[in-house]
Amino acid sequence: MKLLTFAKTELHNLFSKPATRLYPQEPRVYPERTRGHVENDIDVCVFCGLCSKKCPTGAITVDRAAKSWSIKRFSCIQCGYCVASCPKKCLCMRPAYTQPASEKGTETFTQEPKDDQSA
């Protein structure tokens, strides 16, 4: 009886598609509502720091003087509080996960100085 069950499973596995994919060669297609990771349209950011204050894990750091916005990707839990609190709507959740890495780094985005329109 056990041999029959085994043969059935073996035949099923032989003629069905593999349950795994060839990551990373075969890109992942994410479901529609995947939260993925946070992205900032840095040109729109006003460095108010609200996202940083709302972040429950302290993953975001905002430096108003240096016009920089940083995120520790491995501290982020994809809760989306920062996105909901941003008054400029420059934050969003992109439906793709952070690439695997061997070290926990910080990603920093700096706003380029804007042209002075009054000159």
- Residues near ligand SF4 (CB under 6 A) are 38, 40, 45-51, 54-57, 59-60, 62, 69, 71, 76-82, 86, 88, 90-91
Count of other CB atoms within 10 angstroms of residue 51:
27
Residue closer to ligand SF4 (CB basis): 7 or 77 = 77
Residue closer to ligand SF4 (CB basis): 2 or 89 = 89
Least spacing, CB of residue 62 vs ligand SF4, in Å: 5
Least spacing, CB of residue 71 vs ligand SF4, in Å: 6
Least spacing, CB of residue 113 vs ligand SF4, in Å: 17
Residue closer to ligand SF4 (CB basis): 18 or 100 = 100
Burial 72-105 (b: 16+ CB within 10 A, else e): bbeebeebebbbeebeeebbebeeeeeeeeeeee
CA angle 60-72-108, nearest 5°? 75
Is the bond preceding residue 24 a cis peptide, omega within 30 degrees? yes
